[in-house]
Amino acid sequence: MSKNLRGHAVNRSDGSVEVRVCGADNEMEALRSWLWRGPRQADVQDVAEQSVECCHPREFRTG
């Protein structure tokens, strides 16, 4: 995974994960591909994507 992505990933109370991220097109495509797989223990059933204005955060964080 690229270290040039910026944004965050948050576990939601309904079991889903919200990811908001900015990056170059090729990095975003790699992330999209990874999101469909997720980590080993994940059971990915759907990935919904919505384009929004990017605020250019300085780092990627989880929490």
**Residues 7-54 pLDDT 10s:** 888 899 998 999 988 888 899 999 999 999 988 998 999 999 988 777
Residue 50 domain boundaries? 6-54
pTM of the model: 0.72
pLDDT at residue 8 in the model: 84
Residue 49: inside a domain: yes
Residue 28: inside a domain: yes
pLDDT at residue 14 in the model: 93
Contacts 24+ apart (CB under 8 A), 5-14: 5/31, 5/60, 6/56, 6/57, 6/58, 6/59, 6/60, 7/57, 7/60, 7/61, 8/57, 8/60, 8/61, 8/62, 8/63, 9/60, 9/61, 9/62, 10/62, 10/63
Residue 11: inside a domain: yes
Residue 30: inside a domain: yes
pLDDT at residue 50 in the model: 87
Residue 62: inside a domain: no
Give yes or no for residue 61 having a pLDDT over 80: no
Residue 1: inside a domain: no
Give yes or no for residue 57 having a pLDDT over 70: no
Residue 38: inside a domain: yes
User: What domain count does the chain have?
Assistant: 1
